[in-house]
Structure 1
Amino acid sequence: MAAPGENLRINSDRLWDSIMEMAKIGHGIAGGNNRQTVTDEDGEGRHLFMRWCDAAGLEMGVDEMGTMFARREGTDPSLPPVYVGSHLDTQPTGGKYDGVLGVLGGLEVVRSLNDLGIKTKHPIVVTNWTNEEGSRFAPAMMASGVFAGVLDQADVYGHVDKQGKKFGEELERIGWKGSEKVGDRKIHAFFELHIEQGPILEDEDIDIGVVTHGQGLKWLQVTLTGKEAHTGSTPMPKRRNAGLGMARVIELVHEIAMDYQPDAVGAVGHMEVYPNSRNIIAGRTVFTVDIRSPEKEVLDAMDGRIREGIDTICDALDIRYEIEQVGAFDPVTFDAGCVKAIRDAAERLGYSHRNIVSGAGHDACWINRVAPTAMVMCPCVDGLSHNEAEEITKEWASAGADVLFHAVVETAVIVE
């Protein structure tokens, strides 16, 4: 297939201005964004995106999960489209670039094609997946998971937020529950541009991350039950301290992750202590364990060692435990052809690049199950994300979008 010439670039000013305009919606108190899924702010961001798509001459479709598909027609409409995109929803204290760069970078691909008068054989569809973050309604990557057949649509409609509101009802309330059946679309290839959300590219002064794999993960919820007692009058040997048990598990998870470097990671995240009183020994703790690796064998080994370690810790402290697996997906190997298209684009454009493993979950990880898929990553300052201080440079965004443009257009096939 013919590759676009190295002089073809996206309009970096327009891309950056669009990102800044989207960031005005759900503006956070510390400079980031709070545009959580199926909130009024999410709805407002969707309307802005739709107006931009209309102006670019794209045909909008919306499925029953609220995912937006903006189509630029190809010269052969019967061919399956090349899809490009990410998500517009954010964490409650999120940044301006996580997900947004991928959606608006995809929009910039078709805007630039329009500017240059370039036609492609395959249609190109810019996509905004609903509820990638999972911050308001679990799980993360919800709409792409339903599309790929790994999550049940009726089930996720019933998932509730902290206020008891149901996802399906909130999606309908903001007016973005479409009529299109989920998962019916044929995908020739899917490309996602994303900030790295880690420090490697910036630390090594590299422009582009060519994502070859995605981390598999397991999420465990652990409940430790000891006995509440007075902190002052209970002898140390007599204590059944669930708080101490949690502390030892935190250290255990860290040590096990360190044994599987360089790619494995692990941490205890959400923590609850009961009764959480200054002068009562903790009788119960509930906390989550997050472990990740690009190798399934390593992930399973970490899981097994953590379970064995918890059993040993609890036996020594005379406390009980329960372990529930509350989330999991296997490691991802992205499509070799799509990965090559990204690497070739970076080389053609003269950008420094390296292979990288995505430590975070992304919509591309689910779509990879049903279509050839790959990801482009650009650096972010200090590797910081899921934080209002999340930051990238205009040059990083432009480099990522340039590579995305070339990979998408080469795959969609330029019509001479």
Structure 2
Amino acid sequence: MDMKVKPLPEQLRDLRVNGERLWDSLMELAKIGATPKGGVCRLTLTDLDKQGRDLVSRWATEAGLTVTIDKIGNGFLRRAGRNNSLPPIVTGSHIDTQPTGGKFDGNYGVLAGLEVVRTLNDHGIQTEAPIEVAWWTNEEGSRFVPVMMGSGVFAKAFTLEHAYAAKDVEGKSVKDELERIGYIGPEEPGEHPIGCYFETHIEQGPILEDNDKTIGVVTGVLGIRWYDCVVTGMEAHAGPTPMALRKDALQVATKLMQEVVACAHRHPPHGRGTVGMVQVFPNSRNVIPGRVKFSIDLRNASDAICDAMDADIRGVAAKLSAESGLPIEITPVSAYPAQPFHPDCINAVASAAEALGYSNMRAVSGAGHDAVYMARLAPAGMIFIPCKDGISHNEIEDAKPEHITAGCNVLLHAMLERAGVAGG
């Protein structure tokens, strides 16, 4: 970061957000697309998404912010600083949800940013650098792919034209739906400057809750490797075929599936190994399986360790193939590099949590977030708070009001540290 950052003036160290106001805003936004089970279904670029964007835009305007929309529908809500030539200190997330989404995933990050601004307004605090709150289009990817679309276009991970051409199951395109709801803006994605970026989010996992910690100081996002694996045997009648003469693809496949989990255990502490999809052919009760196709999901905290896990599982597959005589094919499907966050932003979050007296721990994100793409462009960091039982992408997703408030207080102090206080 170019700008030098001074410690917060003593009179601001006791500054806190209005947690009740933040909670009320979250509950108000959650009414748009509310489901009978207490969750939210507000798919991207639907009429409900438009209502959510309109509401957040109105709140921003009421808080004195200027609203800018770019060509992929990302929104930037700006609070001017004393020196507006400095790149803004940005926070944000998304307000689209899963079909069976909760009230907090994404929404919390946007409204926490808005509450930071409201708090600064309440106390008449001017920052040196501008502060902005961003929402990113189609983070969830539940209606259109790719996921993290708005931030991905912004970061030039893929083109605007590629995003525009994406269609939902009804054949409706991103471009047509953006035009229909009135959220194609004039600004070219990526032309908006960012000095640094923070994202506040529920953990979407059980680690903070399990460790009884209030704040997760996120150091990075796990790298992801996805594969399709095919084991080929031979179909045969389950009755007449002796056990010693079988070429049972499923028995070999299940051994490799177990090794996917074992591979994660061999690469601690952040190793993850999952088989989530299995297809058995011919899938008949009295036929020995002749072909099994299954997914492999490997994750870890660095690309080097992901490479090691790749070599590990391929070595095991080769050994099982040699022992069984059955061909095993592992084909990469997609890969996302591990993304470490910037030490300055990590330290800003950690320092704020300590100064505010919140229990905290270093954490990694096993899920992707818009902060992944922002970290390619500017120093970035994330703040996690616990969610009940680690459950997310589910209508029962829940978080405690005191944790919601705590995460926003950390965001407030971390942003003030990076933005600086005019005259401070």
CA distance in 1, matches of 2:278, 2:170: 20
CA separation of 1:228 and 1:58: change in aligned 2, threshold 3 A? farther
Name whichever of 103-112 and 213-222 sits farther off.
Answer: 213-222
Secondary structure of 1:385's counterpart equals coil
Given the two structures, how large is their TM-score scaled by the length of structure 1? 0.92
One-letter code of the match for 2:28? Answer: E
Q: Does 1:195 align with 2:166?
A: no
- Distance in 2, Cα, partners of 1:174 & 1:246: 47
In the alignment, which residue of structure 2 is the partner of 1:3? Answer: 8
- Spell out the pairing of 1:308-387 with structure 2 (5 A cutoff): 308-314=315-321, 316-317=323-324, 319-387=326-394
Q: 1:251 aligns with which of 251, 258, 270?
A: 258
1:295 equivalent in alignment to 2:302: yes
Q: Specify the SS of the correspondent of 1:269.
A: coil
Q: Pick one of 114, 123, 132 that aligns with 1:125.
A: 132
Name the SS of the counterpart of 1:212 in structure 2: strand
Match of 2:20 in 1: 13
AA matched with 1:149: K
CA distance in 1, matches of 2:307, 2:27: 42
Q: 2:152 aligns with which of 120, 140, 145?
A: 145
Call closer, same or farther: CA 1:202–1:77 in 2, change over 3 Å.
same
Aligned counterparts of 2:91 and 2:402: Cα–Cα separation in 1: 20
5+ residue gaps, structure 2: 1-5
Provide, for residues 79-101 of structure 1, a one-character-per-residue CA deviation record: whole Å limited to 9, x for no partner.
Answer: 11111011112222222111111
Superposition pairs for residues 15-414 of structure 1, below 5 Å? Answer: 15-314=22-321, 316-317=323-324, 319-414=326-421
1: distance between equivalents of 2:232 and 2:31? Answer: 46
SS in 1 for 2:68: strand
Q: Tell me the CA shift for residue 23 of structure 1.
A: 1.4
SS where residue 251 of structure 1 aligns?
helix
Deviation (angstroms), 1:318: 5.2
Hey, what's the Cα distance between the residues in 2 that align with 1:164 and 1:223? Answer: 31
Partners of 1:80 and 1:123 within 8 A in 2: yes
Deviations 1:240-265 (A, max 9, x none): 44444443332111010011122111
Amino acid across the alignment from 1:356: A
Change in 2 beyond 3 A, CA 1:238/1:118: same
Partners in 1 of 2:176 and 2:76 — Cα distance? 21
**What's the CA shift for 1:228?**
4.6
Number of equivalences: 416
How much does 1:70 deviate? 0.9
1:282 CA drift (Å): 4.2
1:142-161: CA deviations, max 9, x gaps?
Answer: 22122222223322333344
SS at match of 1:180: coil
State the 4+ residue runs in structure 1 displaced beyond 6 angstroms: none
Structure-2 change in CA distance of 1:271 and 1:25 (3 Å): farther
Q: AA paired with 1:125?
A: E
Cα RMSD of the aligned pairs, angstroms, is 2.2
